[in-house]
Amino acid sequence: MCGGYYEEELKPKYYGPSTQFASTPLFGRAAALCELEDVPCRLDPYENTIHFKSIKAEEQFSIAWQKAVAGLQKWK
C-alpha cells in the first residue's frame, strides 16, 4: 500500500434511516435543507439518497421539509 486513504474511510458511517429521492433537483433541494437545518446526515448524490445519523435526525429533516413545502404552497 502507498499509505493513501480510501474514500469510504473518510465518510462518516451513518447506519440510521435513509431516504432516496426520485429526481436530482428534488435531492438538491433536500440536501440544501439538510445544510440549512444542520441535520446530521451523509449525502449520496450518485444515488440521490440521504443517509441520516439517527431516527432523530430523520425526524428533524421531516419537520423542516414539511414546513418548507407548506411555505412554497403559500406562494402559489
| pTM for the whole structure | 0.75
Question: CA triplet 58, 55, 39: central angle to 5 degrees?
Answer: 40
Asked, for residue 20, whether it belongs to a domain, the answer is yes
Asked, for residue 37, whether it belongs to a domain, the answer is yes
Count of domains observed in the chain: 1
Asked, for residue 8, whether it belongs to a domain, the answer is no
Question: What pLDDT is stored for residue 55 in this prediction?
Answer: 93
* Residue 18 DSSP symbol: E
Residue with cell 402559489: 76
Of the candidates 49, 30, 28, 48, which has an alpha carbon nearest to the alpha carbon of residue 39? 30
Residue 13: all three cell numbers together: 458511517
Asked, for residue 9, whether it belongs to a domain, the answer is no
Q: Which domain holds residue 50?
A: 15-70
Full pLDDT tens readout for the chain, 76 residues: 455 555 555 566 667 899 999 999 999 999 999 999 999 999 999 999 999 999 999 999 999 999 988 876 666 5
Question: What pLDDT is stored for residue 19 in this prediction?
Answer: 93
